Amino acid sequence: GNSVTQMEGPVTLSEEAFLTINCTYTATGYPSLFWYVQYPGEGLQLLLKATKADDKGSNKGFEATYRKETTSFHLEKGSVQVSDSAVYFCALRVDFGNEKLTFGTGTRLTIIP
Amino acid sequence: SQTIHQWPATLVQPVGSPLSLECTVEGTSNPNLYWYRQAAGRGLQLLFYSVGIGQISSEVPQNLSASRPQDRQFILSSKKLLLSDSGFYLCAWSVTLARTGEQYFGPGTRLTVT
């Protein structure tokens, strides 16, 4: 089956620190990969995506590269801000007509000034 | 552009009472629609999804049901709420048969069953 494994949270960093949130996956087909962000009390927002091996998704200073050889899609940001405090979800969708997303359990990130 | 609405934003209901949550999407046609539940401090659980009017697939057997009376309207219901139904309910939509398949989420409804 399909599954997504994210690093356990919570993660606490100081402002301007470097961020990595690990995400690995197993999939029965060739998946598209996503990172979503959820700010307190809100719904999920699509942060970035990648659809094939070696693609790099990027948005708002965040990046993630689709690594097929290691089945990974780690989220990185060079310098985090307090406003980046949120829960981050990694997700995949297998590209053979399955319309459903498989989500990881989420990683809570807190940035302290 | 497309937008997705959910209401109410917050709801407090007693055990055994009925439930109706509504989700509507604007700016697109024939979307796939989804209901998720997020328990406190936990990940997302897919409850129902729909690929068209009147077509509902259930992911988890429970006392909830879903309906899609119109193309861009998705309703989550219960006849009798349980304490375990408390949570944050999220509606989402996606483009039918899209190559990438990303979903777009509404603002959510926070349900507290007392």
8 Å CB contact of A43 and B90: yes
Q: For residue A65, what pLDDT is reported?
A: 98
Coil, strand, or helix at residue A64? strand
Cα separation, B3 vs A78, whole angstroms: 31
E-strand ranges in B53-105 read: 55-58, 64-70, 73-78, 87-94, 104-105
Give per-residue pLDDT as tens, B40-80.
777 899 999 998 999 999 888 689 999 999 999 999 999 99
- A57 touching B, CB under 8 A? no
Residue B100 sits at the vertex; the CA angle it makes with A102 and A36, to the nearest 5 degrees, is 50
**Residues of chain A contacting residue B99, judged by C-beta atoms under 8 Å apart:** 32, 51, 95
Query: Taking 90 as the threshold, does the pLDDT of residue A67 lie above it?
Result: yes
Give per-residue pLDDT as tens, A89-102.
999 998 655 578 99
- Asked whether the CA dihedral B61, B65, B68, B74 is positive or negative, the reply is negative
Question: Searching chain A, which residue's CA lies closest to the CA of residue B97?
Answer: A97
- B51 touching A, CB under 8 A? yes
- B44 touching A, CB under 8 A? yes
Query: Taking 90 as the threshold, does the pLDDT of residue B39 lie above it?
Result: no
Tokens standing for residue A68:
């097929």
Question: Searching chain A, which residue's CA lies closest to the CA of residue B36?
Answer: A43
8 Å CB contact of A44 and B105: yes
Please, which pLDDT band fits residue A14 given cuts at 50, 70 and 90? very high
- B96 touching A, CB under 8 A? yes
Query: Taking 80 as the threshold, does the pLDDT of residue A77 lie above it?
Result: yes
8 Å CB contact of A105 and B46: no
Query: Taking 70 as the threshold, does the pLDDT of residue B100 lie above it?
Result: yes
**Residues of chain B contacting residue A103, judged by C-beta atoms under 8 Å apart:** 43-44
Q: Which of A32, A43, A49 sits opposite B108 (nearest CB)?
A: A43
Q: What share of chain A is helix, strand, coil (3-state, %, to 5)?
A: 5, 55, 45
Question: Which region holds residue B72: left if phi is over 0, alpha if psi is between -120 and 50, else beta?
Answer: alpha
Surface-to-core class of residue B70, CB atoms within 10 Å of its CB (0-12 exposed, 13-18 middle, 19+ buried) = exposed
Query: Taking 60 as the threshold, does the pLDDT of residue A58 lie above it?
Result: yes
Query: Taking 70 as the threshold, does the pLDDT of residue A106 lie above it?
Result: yes
b/e map B55-65, b = 16+ CB within 10 Å: ebeeeeeeebe
Give per-residue pLDDT as tens, B14-24.
999 999 999 99
**Residues of chain B contacting residue A96, judged by C-beta atoms under 8 Å apart:** none
8 Å CB contact of B101 and A95: yes
Cα separation, A1 vs A98, whole angstroms: 12
Cα separation, B62 vs B42, whole angstroms: 18
Surface-to-core class of residue A65, CB atoms within 10 Å of its CB (0-12 exposed, 13-18 middle, 19+ buried) = middle
Instruction: Of A6-15, A44-53, A93-102, give the lowest mean pLDDT range.
Output: A93-102
8 Å CB contact of B102 and A34: yes
Q: For residue B42, what pLDDT is reported?
A: 75
Q: For residue B95, what pLDDT is reported?
A: 85
Share of chain B above pLDDT 70, in %: 99
Q: For residue A97, what pLDDT is reported?
A: 56
Query: What number is the average pLDDT over the span A97-110?
Result: 86
